[in-house]
Amino acid sequence: MIVKELGKSSKLKAFTEVYTFGPTFRAENSQTRRHLAEFYMVEAELAFTESLKDIMEVMENLFKSATSFILSKSPDDVELFHKYVAPGQKGRVEQMLKNSFQVLSYTEAIDILKRSMETFKYEPKWGCDLQTEHENYLVKHCGNIPVFVVNYPYDIKPFYARDNQDGPQHTVAAVDLLVPGIGELCGGSLREERLDLLQSRLKQHGLKDTYQWYEELRQFGSVPHGGFGLGFERYLQCILGVENIKDVIPFPRFSHSCLL
C-alpha cells in the first residue's frame, strides 16, 4: 500500500491519497472474454473530496499517465501487439490520450440507448444496470472516446455510495469509466459519510449487524472521501487490443479452471 501525506507540519498530517494493487476475487460465475475469477485491481481512495469530478480527474490522469509511460518505456513490446494482434489499435490509443474523456449522466445514457436504432439483447431501462452491449454502444456514440457515466440509481449501487438525495429518480454519486472495446474499466463513488443515512440504508437491507464495524468508522470520525477500482487486465486489453482477458494474465483463473 502506498500512502501520500498531506501537510508539512509534524503535528498535522493526514492520508490524502491511498491506493493498493493486488488480487481481487469475483463471486459471480461469469464466463466471458472480460471476466476472471481472480484478477488484479488498482484501488484508490481520496480523502477530503465531496465531488465526483475529483474522482473522475484522478481516473483520467491515471489512465493517460500510465499509458504514456508504457508507450515511452516499452515501445517495442506495445508495437508487437499493435502490429500482429490488433492493427489500428495504435491510432485508437493515441485518440484516447489526446482527447478529454466525455461525461454522461446515467439518465442521459439510458435516453441515448432508448433512442438508438440498435437491437439490444437486453432492453435498456432506467433502474437496470448497464450491460456490456450498452456500454460499448455509448462509447461508440461518443466517438470512441472513453466516457464517464455518473449518478446511478440508488437501488443498484452498494450501500456505501453517497446518496444524492435528489428527486423521484433517486440516485447516488457513483461513476463508471467506459472505454473502447472493453466497456467498464473503472468503477467508483463518493462514500456515504453521513452516519444517519448510512444507518438507515444498512437497516433497510438487513445489514446493520454485519456492518456494525463500518458504522463505527463514521461514528468515531471520518471525512468526506471517495474512490474507485481499475481492473488491471482490462486496462491491458484496452491499450494492447487483446480481445480475451485470459491472454493478458500469466495464470488465468476463471470459474471451473482450478479443479483439484
Residues linked to residue 5 through DSSP beta bridges, in sequence order: 15
- What pLDDT is attached to residue 74? 96
State pLDDT tens for residues 4-35.
433 344 444 566 667 899 988 877 777 777 77
**Mean pLDDT along residues 188-206:** 93
Sort 17 into a burial class: Cβ within 10 Å, 0-12 / 13-18 / 19+: middle
Angle at 46 between CA 41 and CA 48, to 5 degrees: 165
pLDDT > 70 in the chain, percent: 92
Q: Mean pLDDT over all residues of the chain?
A: 89
**Mean pLDDT along residues 229-250:** 93
pTM equals 0.89
Q: 260 pLDDT exceeds 70?
A: no
Given strand 171-179, what is the order of strands in its sheet?
2-6, 14-25, 38-47, 225-231, 183-190, 171-179, 147-153, 102-105
Run of H or E residues at 93: helix 89-98
- What pLDDT is attached to residue 32? 74
- What pLDDT is attached to residue 13? 53
State pLDDT tens for residues 209-219.
999 999 998 88
Q: 3 pLDDT exceeds 60?
A: no
Q: 1 pLDDT exceeds 90?
A: no
Sort 95 into a burial class: Cβ within 10 Å, 0-12 / 13-18 / 19+: middle
- What pLDDT is attached to residue 259? 58
- What pLDDT is attached to residue 218? 87
Question: Hey, CA dihedral for 98, 242, 106, 49, is it positive or negative?
Answer: negative
**Mean pLDDT along residues 69-93:** 95
Grid coordinates given for 217:
468508522
CA-CA-CA-CA dihedral for 13, 19, 25, 26, to nearest 10 = 110
State pLDDT tens for residues 90-147.
999 999 999 999 999 999 999 999 999 899 999 999 999 999 999 999 999 999 999 9
Q: Which of 209, 198, 210 is nearest to 172 (CA)?
A: 198
Q: Which CA distances in Å does 16 have to 1, 5, 79, 95, 216? A: 13, 6, 37, 31, 20
Full set of structural domains in the chain with CATH = 21-248 (3.30.930.10)
- What pLDDT is attached to residue 9? 40
